[in-house]
Amino acid sequence: MNTIIEPFRIKSVEPIYFNTEAERALIVEKAFYNPFLIHSTDVMIDLLTDSGTSAMSSNQWAGMMQGDESYAGSPSFFRFEKTIQEITGFPLVIPTHQGRAAEKILFSILGGKGKYFVSNTLFDTTRANIEFSGAEGVDLICEEGKHPSIPAPFKGNMDTTLLKKFIEEKGTANIPLCIITVTNNSGGGQPVSMQNIKEVRAICTEYKIPLFIDACRFAENSYFIKLREEGYADKSVREIAKELFSYADGCTMSAKKDAFANIGGFLAMRNEDLAQHCRNLLIMTEGFPTYGGLAGRDLEAIAIGLNEVLDEHYLQYRIRSIEYLSNKLIAAGVPVMQPAGGHAVYLDAKEFLAHIPVDQYPGQALVAALYVHGGIRSVEIGSLMFGKYDEHKKLIPAQLELVRLAIPRRVYTQSHIDYVAEVIIEVFNKRDEIKGLTITEEPPMLRHFTAKLKPIESK
């Protein structure tokens, strides 16, 4: 038997609202060719993000009914704390309302002018919180991670030679923390190897720099280690995750990813002084340390979700279903980032729409085309998101023009994914008809969320 089945049955369903291509052409025009401005009920398959979009299990829903909403000392907190202690080995656990709230607290304490935070690749909210503190974020991704079309098993690895060089150059005193993001979200959901984490740990120990894990997709990363790294095939994902965390001094986590929760996050660590500092800030911005911006029921849902995500039938289905979509596209000649990541497939829009120059935002044009043709919502990760202007207001493009199709956990079935592949291939076959876009209005920061665009009509 080769078929990998969805490892769940469906007890409760949500409708998909169908609309026509002609209706969607009007909707996208009214939304100024920006997927963030489309109402979700106008979307047939929503692949905008895997964050907070998971389907919760019947056990999680049952757990929510047991949520104890006491202000202090709720048993829901102690279940949450114990689960995280067991999985990570970190003794000190601090709940937050989502991942960026954990980042905000950590970097308010450790950041500041003249400091550097080194990483494989910082996620955008992580970088924003570091920069907001006055410090600088530095990405030291390995060479393989820079080439989307060349497959390699661990493209999320940090370049340890560059790390050593950077520390020697800037001095230990100016580097409060090293952060490894697993999997590397901004780098295509690519995993980091245990070997790499061990090497980074050794360097951090040598220079006395603490190491934190941005653990949003720790289970997906641990499963990739099991599949791809020598010596791990016979270990359980739970054991692999425990080993991974054993090399770190703490972690930040968004429970909206691998904890199957719709909201939530946490900080966990070993250092009591740092934890006390974090709790002091927590009380000001998030809440008392036994709920930290969450309801008791959220703590229950997260605790249950963290155990469910380590189920290897689930992880096999999860990783395989992303690869399944990727393989279908590759077979049809569609340019995609290789290999497939843990939570998303990335289309290479520069190659897909080779006739559209980067200053006409080929990624965004492709996002609009996928929506109009098949009602699929995706997101551009390219020059609309990361582009800057030079002094003549000429676009300095991003390195890559990608379109991300992020797959929500346990939400879509194989036929939904077959449909997505079909839509992308049909759009690929008539790609010459797609026009570039121009920006008509944009805010000064994080412009991709609210920018307005329109098609460039050919003369």
The footprint of ligand PLP (CB under 6 A) covers 51, 98-100, 123, 125-126, 181, 185, 214, 216, 254, 256-257, 265
257 vs 448 by CB, closer to ligand PLP: 257
DSSP class of 345: E
CB 419 within 8 A of CB 327: no
Q: Is 136 in a helix, a strand, or coil?
A: strand
Residues in Cβ contact with 414 at an 8 Å cutoff, skipping those fewer than 6 apart: 6, 321, 324
**Residue with smaller CB distance to ligand PLP, 258 or 300:** 258
Q: Which is nearer to ligand PLP, 126 or 364 (CB)?
A: 126
Position closest to ligand PLP via CB: 99
Token pair belonging to 287? 């809440």
Name the minimum Å distance from CB 34 to ligand PLP.
20
Closer CB to ligand PLP, 258 or 352, in the complex:
258
Cα distance between residue 195 and residue 237, in whole Å: 16
Instruction: Kindly list the strands in the beta sheet with 92-96, ordered across the sheet, starting from the edge strand earlier in the chain.
Output: 92-96, 265-269, 250-254, 211-214, 177-181, 116-119, 136-139
C-beta of 263: minimal distance to ligand PLP in Å? 8
Sorted by sequence, the CB contacts under 8 Å of residue 257 that are 6+ apart come out as 50, 51, 99, 216, 217, 343
In the complex, least distance from residue 382 CB atom to ligand PLP, rounded to whole angstroms: 18
Closest by CA to 348, choosing from 435, 431, 457, 415, is 431
Of the pair 254, 360, the CB lying nearest ligand PLP is at 254
Please, what is the minimum distance in Å from the beta carbon of residue 267 to ligand PLP? Answer: 12
Nearer to ligand PLP, 216 or 400 (CB): 216
- Report the distance separating Cα 64 and Cα 80, nearest Å: 12
Residue 206, Cβ density class (10 Å: 0-12 exposed, 13-18 middle, ≥19 buried):
exposed
- 125 or 327: CB nearest ligand PLP: 125
3-state secondary structure (DSSP) of residue 379: strand
Question: CB of residue 49 vs ligand PLP: minimum separation in angstroms?
Answer: 8
CB of 459 to ligand PLP, least distance (A): 42
Nearest approach, Cβ of 350 to ligand PLP (angstroms)?
A: 24
| Closer to ligand PLP by Cβ: residue 99 or 408 | 99
17, 99, 123, 456 from 299: Cα distances, Å: 32, 14, 24, 49
Token output for 271: 């250092």
Find, among 357, 356, 376, the residue nearest to 368 by Cα: 376
Residues in the chain, overall count? 459
CB nearer to ligand PLP: give 49 or 360: 49
Cβ-based neighbour number of residue 330 at 10 Å: 16
Instruction: Name the minimum Å distance from CB 213 to ligand PLP.
Output: 10
User: CB–CB of 400/348 below 8 Å?
Assistant: yes
| Cβ nearer to ligand PLP, comparing 343 with 410 | 343
Q: How far is the CB of 200 from ligand PLP (least distance, A)?
A: 17
In angstroms, give the least distance from the CB of 197 to ligand PLP: 15
* Helices marked H in 31-135: 58-65, 75-88, 99-110, 124-132
Render the burial of 407-420: b for 16+ CB within 10 Å, e for the rest. Answer: bbbbebeeeebebb
